A and B are shown apart, each in its own frame.
Chain A
Amino acid sequence: MMNFSYTRAETVAEAIAAVAGDPAARFIAGGTNLVDLMKYDVMKPERLVDITRLPLREIEATDAGGLRIGALVPNSDLAYDARVQRDYPLLASAILAGASAQLRNAATTGGNLLQRTRCYYFYDVATPCNKREPGSGCAAKTGVNRVNAILGTSEACIATHPSDMCVALAALEATVHVEGPNGPRVLPFAEFHRLPGDAPQHDNTLAHGEMVVAVELPAPRFGRNHTYLKLRDRLSYAFALVSVAAALEMDGEGIAEARIALGGVAHKPWRVPDGEAVLKGKPATPDSFGAAADVILAGAKGYGGNDFKIELARRAIVRALAQAAAGEPQVQSDKTVN
């Protein structure tokens, strides 16, 4: 870990100015990811701008009937907020599927969006990694890639985005409110994270100095038929090998609308609208679910150690849709998959 300077911002504008004006500066929120990366010398900011004192800790109702979640709302506060539990149980469930209670207490909403990949090579500065050191190569492609991506990969990088929360936010079509040196912007969730392409060093579409100030949820939907199903290498406290956020609007026995987002398989939460469309007007049967899975996973490619994820993802989609259709969401505290 290298030495760095530390300042505590009092206003959003001050924080943005401090970071935007210094290429070696970074925001720090809960620090649960950034501090680890600094200890491993993966990220070497010379200046940390602590944003935890900024007034971004509220969860407020919006005029559109949704919720606006301040970027500093801790993951656990968000998961246990009564409105979220009642109206967005899919989001609450996804958050509680992640990390540990201690980490969720410290981790923030904005930090969760910006957490970096868990590709083993990214964390080890003695290895080639295009995301950490553009142009150095990608050791994961031929190495230990059990946790890596099967969709949307590139020659340069096969990393995944590790968040659980973001998978639910993708399914719920949240928007991300950003402020930066050039003013505010609002991004649809699908446009917040990006695929690696030939610039895997960029996880998302934020410019340097831009800050996430809030995440907005549209008016509640899918309150009854939803689930977050996370499959991992132990029953708790491990990142997803594959996770599925599924939300359905039922029309009698049939499906009126479906949202399906996958975690652990790509550089961003993976949604395929064509795959969701397959389910429209279809009965809630394993055949329908399988047909949707086929479209969602079209083009999936394994790299040896992660080949199994293709079949696992297929089965996880089918099961998650069954859970959602039955109105029996996965319970995160009970490790039996229902």
Chain B
Amino acid sequence: MSNIHPYVGRATSRVDGPLKVSGLAQYAAEFGAPDLAYAAAVPSAIAKGRVTSLDVSAARAAPGVIDVLSHENKLAFPEDDEPFKNDMVAVPGSPFRPFRDDQVHYSGQAIALVVADTHENARHAATLVRATYAAETPNVDVASAANHYEPPEPRDGIPPTPEPRGDAAGAFAAAPVQVTADYRVVAEHHNPMELQATTVVWEGDGRLLIHNKTQGVVNPKNYICSVFGLDEDKVRLVSPFVGGAFGMALRPHYDVFLAVMASLKLQRSIRLVLTRGQMFTMGWRPDCLQTVSFGADAGGRLTSIQHHAIQATSRYEDYQEPIVNWSGFLYDCDNVALKYELGKVDTPTPSDMRAPGATTGVFALECAMDELAYAAKVDPVELRLMNYSDRDKNDDKPFSSKELREAYRLGAERFGWSKRSPEPRSMREGRELIGYGMATGCWEAMTMPHKARATLTADGKLEVGCATADIGTGTYTILAQIAADALGLDIAEVTSRVGDTSLPMAPVEGGSWAAASAGSAVKSACETLKDELLKRARGIDGSPLANAGLDHVVFGNGRIALASDPAKAVSFADVLKGAGLDKLEADGGFEPDKDFAQTYAGYTHAACFVEVRVDEDLGVVRLARVVSAVAAGKILNPLTARSQILGGVVMGCGMALHEETLWDKTLGRVMNANLGEYHVPAHADIPDIDVVFVDEEDGSNPLGVKGLGEIGIVGTAAAVANAIFHATGKRVRELPITIDKLL
């Protein structure tokens, strides 16, 4: 690297911050169009069965109503599954299609769409649609699913369940220390602030400009073109801002499907904003039953690990996430048996939700480790160090980097773990029992192919962009940091753009791969741009850089200068002028290093330490402190990085203590489908959170970045549960740990 990098690695405020706080950032439901009509989806009242009749006469007669669509008068779309699988995040099965027929697959499914002149008229008329049903008895409880099965077709893009190794059952039977426990992680919904929404701008001539809340504009665009047979050149999808998503906006949802259908049918612009209640009629973190069994020697060295998970999925698709895999490599053990099964329920297909799989599986694994610590009478941190793995035995590979040991050390030190007395109920202050708990977190460090473009204009300003998304993580900012460093520009001279299908290709933003992948692609585009600039600078008559190569020059202050004699320089503006250009564009790209990935296993790690206070008689839990020590490669921006971990930790605290989607088992309906009764932590619930990053060098991509969006949540709930056990001596194995479970 020939340039100093003043921005990358330095705390840099969000470049999009002023737009967001001033309300100028536009979200999908905020784009206008002349002649915009408003749609409202009508939810089904039953969870399973058929719509036997649909009376839309009152709705049609209501003020302002333009049309009412349903399976009876829909715009035709293909019958077969394939066009609907044009979705990067599709899972095995038969994708859901609104209005396909009269079947109801889950409660709240859209059975009609009212289009009216105003949002209010549409919402009102939607309440006037009368449906009758032939209802069947639904089951929404994975524990009572008819049968559990190993998914016949594995989901693309996630690691398969590892084959067993050694003899886990035999080693367990022979182990002097045994721990077996059942855990349950309950259903959760993502509940981002921004509602799922689409504004379709009918541009005439078959052109559609779609604004859709999404974690990757390319995905819904491809899907829409595929299912409605639209010409890709005539559809553009623009979604510059996302008000939180956590995975729920990875797949195209029924809002974009129905809004486009209405737009095509009525040949006009349409906006559809789902209600908060309807946010519970799409992806969710599936309910999961788990059993973990450990065998260990008398000192706590693991000799056997068995982890079995049964996770809910919908009737029509086999949604899968890696729940048990972590148990195969997080600790060193030669006898491992992992089993992952599904059970079908009458709900929408679950979806990825922040650290899908790990959040659920590592909760059970890390609670079981805590149980083992007590069974073997070993300190929980000691136990983890004793069983530390230096190799991913699932795939038999070394780790690309793994500074987890240092994370344990640093986290324990900052937390003051040494002050913990090991016995449960042994620490107290007044009526409050004090508990210290800890757990490990782990998430895959992934990269994905990305393209990017860098454009320098005659005024010396740089624009970089790709079709990824910034779902609030800070992508805009890190791309600007990387580009500013590459060209030696002030960050104020750099604009980054994302969320537009006219930009170079990017996959959805998920899996914490965007920083490494989009960042590397932008860096590559900038490197190409520098090359092109220098080439042209050399060609200028009497150029002081005539014989200089990239190694001999420095980019900075809007100029290319000779490293040996900085007075000899050509300004970017002169380069463009000399070449007769008003802008210079360069494309770049990033491809994951396949050899590297074949040689190494890449993971981020965290060590989470929690102090809880529990009122001895009443079971009131207060979190007192959290320390999260994270090893995740190079930290591009400590400010946005810390925010990502804070958000993950808060979500983990919510998972531990509050979050639960409550289904009525008879009606198959979510009963707390609002933010008043679906509890996420309030400010009062969240204590000081100390985030610390451990130095870690990683070679999997040019930036050395591993990703931070999800690691903060993994392990946090287990650390809270373990702290509650230490405080109270009560082992609560079913989340959330509410007051009734501690009485």
Chain B residues closer than 8 Å to A127, beta-carbon distance? 664, 667, 669
Q: A213-238, CB under 8 A of B: which get 1 and which 0?
A: 00000000000000000010111111
Q: Which range contains the number of A residues in contact with the other chain?
A: 35 or more
Chain B contacts for A312, CB-based, 8 A: 618-619, 739-740, 743
Q: State in angstroms the CA–CA spacing of A318 and B107 once bound together.
A: 43
> Which residue in chain B gives the minimum CB-CB distance to A306?
B740
List, in ascending order, chain B residues with CB within 8 A of A241's CB: 739
CA distance A319 to B663 in the complex (A): 33
Contacts of A142 in B (CB 8 A): 666
Q: Is the CB of B662 within 8 A of A144?
A: yes
Contact A235 B622 (CB under 8 A): yes
Is A2 located at the chain interface by the 8 A CB criterion?
yes
Q: How far is the CA of A308 from the CA of B120 in the complex (A)?
A: 42
Q: Are A237 and B682 in contact (CB under 8 A)?
A: yes
Q: What separation, in Å, do the CA atoms of A136 and B615 have in the docked complex?
A: 41
Q: Is A191 an interface residue (CB 8 A)?
A: no
Q: Which residues of B contact A316 (CB under 8 A)?
A: 618
Q: Does B127 contact A (CB under 8 A)?
A: yes
| Inter-subunit contact A120/B743 (CB<8 Å) | no
Cα distance, A126 to B430, chains bound together (Å): 48
| Contact yes or no, B617 A234, CB < 8 A | no
Q: Is the CB of A2 within 8 A of B127?
A: yes
| Beta-carbon contacts under 8 Å, A301-322 to B | 308, 311-312, 315-316, 318-319
Asked if A233 and B658 sit within 8 Å, CB to CB, the answer is yes
Q: Collect the chain B residues with CB atoms within 8 Å of residue A338's CB.
A: 430-431
Question: Which of the residues B613, B667, B743 comes within 8 Å of A315, measured between beta carbons?
Answer: B743
A30-60 CB contact bits vs B (8 Å, 1 = yes)?
0000000000010000000000000000000
Contact of B669 among A1, A41, A126, A308 (CB under 8 A): A126
Chain B nearest Cβ from A143, distance in angstroms: 4
Q: Report how far A41 CA is from B40 CA in the complex, Å.
A: 15
> Smallest CB-CB separation from A312: which chain B residue?
B743
- How many B residues touch A, CB cutoff 8 Å? 43
Q: Is the CB of B431 within 8 A of A337?
A: yes
Query: Are A144 and B63 neighbours in the complex by a CB distance under 8 Å?
Result: no
CA distance A276 to B636 in the complex (A): 64
> Which residues on B sit within 8 Å (CB–CB) of A335?
620, 622, 684
Q: Is the beta-carbon distance between A234 and B679 smaller than 8 angstroms?
A: yes
- B682: contacting residue among A41, A124, A143, A235, CB under 8 A: A235
- A139 an interface residue at 8 Å Cβ cutoff? yes
Instruction: Give the contacting residue for B662; candidates A41, A118, A120; CB below 8 A.
Output: A120
Segment 217-254 of B: residues with Cβ below 8 Å from A: none
A234 partner residues in chain B, CB cutoff 8 A: 657-658, 679, 681-682, 684-685
Q: Is the CB of B743 within 8 A of A337?
A: no
| B123 in the interface (beta carbon within 8 A) | yes
State the Cβ distance, A178 to closest chain B Cβ, in Å.
Answer: 29
- How far is the CB of B117 from the nearest CB of chain A, in Å? 14
Known pairs A1-B123, A120-B677, A139-B664; A235 contacts B669 (CB<8 A)? no
Q: Mark A264-295, 1 if CB is under 8 A from B, else 0.
A: 00000000000000000000000000000000
Contacts of A311 in B (CB 8 A): 743
Known: A315-B617, A315-B743. A2 touches B682 (CB 8 A): no
**A231–B672 contact, CB under 8 A?**
no
Expressed in whole angstroms, the minimum distance between the Cβ of B686 and any Cβ of chain A is 9
Q: Which of B619, B679, B740 contacts A238 (CB 8 A)?
A: B679
Select the residue from A2, A123, A139, A234 with max chain B CB neighbours within 10 A.
A234
A2 near B124 (CB under 8 angstroms)? yes
7 further contact pairs, Cβ within 8 A, besides A120-B672, A127-B669, A233-B739:
A143-B667, A235-B620, A235-B682, A236-B683, A236-B685, A238-B679, A338-B431
A sample of 13 cross-chain residue pairs with beta-carbon separation below 8 angstroms, ordered by A number, consists of: A1-B127, A2-B124, A120-B671, A126-B43, A127-B667, A144-B662, A231-B618, A233-B658, A233-B738, A308-B743, A319-B618, A335-B620, A337-B620
